[in-house]
């Protein structure tokens, strides 16, 4: 008896094969090296787009350590033992990393990273005390900066995050007023300090009083 293949069945099989190939490709783009007690960055990640190095024992990110990962776009090095002086400003050289996560480490200052591709920077749950002038100078395309749950008590008034930052997270720090450097961000849409909106606080820079910035604050006295 001759086999009969209906057009609809053939189309269904083609779609299944296509989805399977896409899923396989996505898996190959993610390299998960978390929870492996690593003390150095693995060099066998291949053409990975997303590298997870969370929950390891990394203490430094030397210059060019990710250079072989030319397609690397998302990098998470959270829950390690990184200190500020162990992160070289050129550690991302040769990559296109746009999303960088350094949460839950031992950073006391913001490392001066020189990487123009970074758009999202997260350094939550560290021990950062102060934001110095020039901290973001090497990342001109930043759109999101998250510093929740640090010990920040002072931000240099000369600090600028560039002209593209739309969201800044400063919740659970030691600030007593809204830092003046926010005035420099023409695209700023939200300042987060808690999870609810409390209105317009005293001490808000004049350049923001009539703007469309949404303030989510708790650490400022109210009118």
Q: Are residues 150 and 194 in the same domain?
A: yes
Ramachandran category for residue 14: left, alpha or beta (phi over 0 → left; psi -120 to 50 → alpha) = alpha
**For position 92, which CATH number holds?**
3.80.10.10
Judge whether 11 lies within some domain: no
Residue 122: pLDDT above 80? yes
Q: Does residue 160 or residue 1 have the better pLDDT?
A: 160
The 3-state secondary structure of 165-211 reads CCEEECCCCCCCCCCHHHHHCCCCCEEECCCCCCCCECCCCHHHHCC
What pLDDT does 21 receive?
42
> How many independent structural domains does the chain possess?
2
- Mean pLDDT over each residue of the chain, to the nearest integer: 76
The domain boundary, picked from 74, 107, 140, lies at: 107
- For the stretch 147-199, pLDDT in tens is 999 999 888 877 776 667 778 888 888 887 766 655 444 566 666 665 333 33
Lowest-confidence region among 4-13, 67-76, 89-98, 102-111: 4-13
Q: What is the mean pLDDT of residues 22-30?
A: 56
Supply the pLDDT for residue 183.
43
pLDDT digits (tens, 9 = 90+) for 65-78: 999 999 999 999 99
Secondary structure (3-state) at 22: helix
pTM above 0.85, yes or no: no
The domain in which residue 213 lies consists of 128-223
pLDDT score of 193: 61
Question: Residue 210: what pLDDT?
Answer: 41
Distance CA 210, CA 154 (A): 25
Q: Is 19 part of a structural domain of the chain?
A: no
pLDDT (tens digit, 9 = 90+) per residue, 34-65? 999 999 998 777 789 999 999 999 999 999 99
pLDDT at 128: 97
Asked, for residue 117, whether it belongs to a domain, the answer is: no
């Amino acid at each position: 008896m001759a086999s009969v293949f209906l057009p609809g069945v053939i189309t269904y099989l083609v779609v299944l094969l296509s989805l399977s190939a896409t899923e396989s490709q996505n898996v190959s783009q993610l390299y998960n090296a978390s929870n492996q007690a690593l003390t150095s960055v693995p060099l066998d990640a291949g053409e990975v787009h997303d590298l997870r190095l969370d929950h390891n024992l990394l203490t430094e990110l030397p210059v060019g350590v990710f250079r072989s990962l030319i397609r690397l776009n998302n990098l998470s090095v959270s829950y390690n033992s990184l200190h500020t002086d162990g992160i070289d400003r050129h550690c991302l050289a040769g990559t296109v990393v746009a999303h960088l996560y350094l949460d839950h480490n031992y950073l006391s200052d913001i490392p001066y990273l020189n990487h123009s591709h970074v758009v999202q920077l997260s350094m939550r749950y560290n021990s950062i005390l102060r934001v110095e002038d020039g901290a973001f100078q090497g990342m001109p395309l930043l759109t999101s900066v998250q510093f929740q749950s640090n010990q920040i008590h002072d931000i240099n008034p000369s600090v600028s995050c560039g002209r593209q930052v739309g969201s800044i997270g400063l919740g659970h720090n030691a600030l007593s007023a809204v830092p003046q450097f926010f005035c420099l961000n023409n695209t700023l849409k939200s300042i987060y300090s808690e999870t609810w909106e409390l209105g317009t606080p005293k001490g808000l820079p004049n350049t923001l009083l009539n703007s469309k910035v949404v303030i989510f604050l708790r650490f400022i006295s109210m009118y």
